[in-house]
Amino acid sequence: MDVPELLESASLLVPEETATENDCTVRDIWDYLVHDEWEMALGLLEELGDARSLPLAFWEKLGEAAEQLRMERSAAWCHWRCSEIRNGVIRADLTLRPAAEARRTTPISGAGVLRPMWNIGHLSPTGGRAVSIAAIWVESMPILEPGGRATVRLVPLTPAHWMHVQPGQQITMHEDRTVAGTAVILEVHLPATAMPTR
């Protein structure tokens, strides 16, 4: 599919009553598509997708359109949202340790590149600390400096490991044995396949 077809197809997956913060709807997107303003249409579709839960196919189509338009950050965000749908997402308030106190002296990318280990309270069979891996997306910032603080989105590598995590819980981030940062859980949205059956 070419870009207009992908964007049209994605727009058909958005309920008509859905609106962005600025009251833009699917009808506005169609206006942009008619005038070949594909980047504007893509941006508005991303906003509509952030306003409500939309299916995996929506984000896959947007990701493909963003790749064809060479909009790297948008493509990364759309692929990230696909991962959230598949693996769940945990939002948290993360504070990195200052460079003088930690191994990391450079900023972390905000676009889901880093996949650190997290101490979320599990113990190994020998009673030691067990860690779980989750990728990080920093909300509203391209990078997070050492010592910085931001709201982050975590996508777990193994969602079942994170079933016990609750809002208000504190977890620690590790890139080696030392603590690289501390996070407080804000929200937990795990996929249905990771939830325990009753």
Q: Is the pLDDT of residue 142 over 90?
A: yes
Rounded distance, CA 62 to CA 185, Å?
29
- Give the pairing type, strands 132-138 and 117-119: antiparallel
Q: What is the pLDDT of residues 115-127, one digit of tens each?
A: 999 999 988 888 8
CA-CA-CA-CA dihedral for 35, 37, 38, 44, to nearest 10? -110
Tokens at residue 35, please?
Answer: 């005038």
pLDDT tier at 137 (50, 70, 90 boundaries)?
A: very high
Least confident of 9-13, 23-27, 71-75, 182-186: 23-27
Rounded Cα gap, residues 185 and 164, in angstroms: 12
CA 136 to chain centroid, in Å, comes to 7
Q: Phi/psi of residue 151, each to 5°? A: -80, 130
- Crossing angle of the two packed helices 56-68 and 3-11, in degrees rounded to 10: 160
Going by C-alpha positions, the residue among 184, 195, 176 that lies closest to residue 93 is 184
Query: What is residue 198's predicted lDDT score, i.e. its pLDDT?
Result: 44
- In this prediction, residue 197 carries a pLDDT of 45
Mean pLDDT of 46-71: 93
Chain mean pLDDT for the chain: 92
**How do beta strands 149-156 and 170-174 pair?**
unpaired
Give the 3-state secondary structure of residue 81: helix
Q: Which two tokens stand for residue 81?
A: 């949202």
Sign of the Cα pseudo-torsion (190, 192, 195, 198, in order): positive
CB 118 within 8 A of CB 172: yes
